[in-house]
Structure 1
């Protein structure tokens, strides 16, 4: 069920002439920066909301038991908080591989919490990718996350680390925190 997007992302040339590019992270990129960066800043992007609607067949699940990871879905009234990283284009090869299961690079405006903004990029898994699982009740998402594990570890760790990272940034995400609460209930029951 994997949808390898590496070749598609390599054709995005919007930032080819740039020596440095801002990258916006809204999921594991907030707490797991496994790539070199020049600078990082708390930031947000407008018009998008974070959702556990993308399947993970390659990191936090398997083909037969996919995990659920984040993507962004359009919501004109939303502002999605995360972390922005200033990187060099050489980092794209690593990121394209890391985000290969359905994620595409998209140019976006990034607003920094401390003020100012830049045009940068974000990886988003749209509804038309083969690994997209779509909307589900948050309780059901928690059940799937509780059961899933893959080469990058348990899906539950992804959720918990993200919730902790958002709290450390002073950000509230009702969707993430509701799934975390359901996961805790499953652990108790």
Structure 2
């Protein structure tokens, strides 16, 4: 699958018939909200965990030297905390462009962190069959890759450090993110 997924997302999952959609952010969408939203709430999804296994050719790296950003992998019993944003379908024109590098939209239940209840929401996931997928590596190797990567959105290390701080601010733990952060800080 091509790493530019804009038209694929629009074809396979039109959202124009909806008044609003809840979007789940688990990476930079937690701390970099460059889009309008109607409401925002801390939320989590079950059965998924974050991994720095996706290449970034367009934001935290270049086509010649992609950076490493997050995707989700399925994991039984896992819980991934993040932020949910209620947005209008028109917002997905911007979001599909922002998340175009191999990410496909999927619907999944979102569970509120600070209150009871759940709602169906959309999350962007980059699976192993997209051209930008880099796959697993050791924490040290991932951190070294991130330390040397830079793209139009800035240093790849900034992505990790801002996300780790945002998770701490939410009182949330993520062993993978914090392990990469520790290795990065050693460098």
**Equivalent position of 2:151 in the other structure:** 150
**Equivalent position of 1:172 in the other structure:** 173
3-state SS in 2 of match to 1:171: coil
* CA distance, structure 2, for counterparts of residue 132 and residue 78 of structure 1: 21
Q: Is the 8 A contact 2:16 2:90 kept in 1?
A: no
Shift of 1:13: 3.4
How do residues 59-138 of structure 1 correspond to structure 2 at under 5 angstroms?
59-113=59-113, 114-138=115-139
Shift of 1:144: 0.4
Shift of 1:12: 3.2
* CA distance, structure 1, for counterparts of residue 27 and residue 104 of structure 2: 15
* CA distance, structure 1, for counterparts of residue 14 and residue 111 of structure 2: 19
What runs of 5+ residues in structure 1 fail to find an aligned partner? none
Q: Is the 8 A contact 2:3 2:130 kept in 1?
A: yes
Compute the RMSD of aligned alpha carbons: 1.2
Please state if 1:160 is matched with 2:175.
no
**Equivalent position of 1:17 in the other structure:** 17
Shift of 1:16: 3.1
**Equivalent position of 2:182 in the other structure:** 181
**Equivalent position of 1:141 in the other structure:** 142
**Equivalent position of 2:38 in the other structure:** 38
* CA distance, structure 2, for counterparts of residue 104 and residue 181 of structure 1: 30
Aligned residues: 186
Shift of 1:14: 5.8
Give TM-score scaled by structure 2 length. Answer: 0.97
Shift of 1:165: 0.2
Q: Is the 8 A contact 2:13 2:105 kept in 1?
A: no
3-state SS in 1 of match to 2:41: strand
Could you list the structure 1 runs, at least 4 aligned residues long, displaced by more than 4 angstroms after superposition.
Answer: none
* CA distance, structure 1, for counterparts of residue 103 and residue 146 of structure 2: 19
Give TM-score scaled by structure 1 length. Answer: 0.96
3-state SS in 2 of match to 1:141: helix
